[in-house]
Amino acid sequence: MTLPCDNFYEFKRFLTNLRDEDDKVIFRLNALLPTTSFQNKVDAATNCQKLKTELVELHKTREEMISTCLQFQRGLLASAPDERSRRAAQRTVRSLQQEGSVEEIVRERSNTFFQNKCNPFMDFDAKL
């Protein structure tokens, strides 16, 4: 997979598609975890652990993507041949830094939902 680090809008679209899984975390938790009447028929702890593994991997992947493209754009900024190129690279660097902040918010929101839903079924603090 090649990251579109040279085109912020393509990168943003790619990142948004990856964030869809976090947007669906409430639905997925409700589907995976049992209601009181089905508690004995579903292994909620295993389901929580699987989802946790998936989410942690997604978060790590997105963070690495943002970091990689941020380094790429900082390299462009450092070697910008003219003012126009420098300003464009500066805008992209700022946008990528903002995406890093958004990623923290998305991760925290998913973590909150995950903890609220999975802690009753886990033997440990269910934190992402």
Confidence of residue 100 (pLDDT cuts 50, 70, 90): very high
Is 92 or 39 the better-scoring residue by pLDDT? 92
Q: Quick one: which of 49, 48, 52 has its CA closest to 60?
A: 52
**pLDDT higher than threshold 60 for residue 126:** no
7-16, 25-34, 67-76, 107-116: range with lowest mean pLDDT: 25-34
Residue-averaged pLDDT of the chain = 87
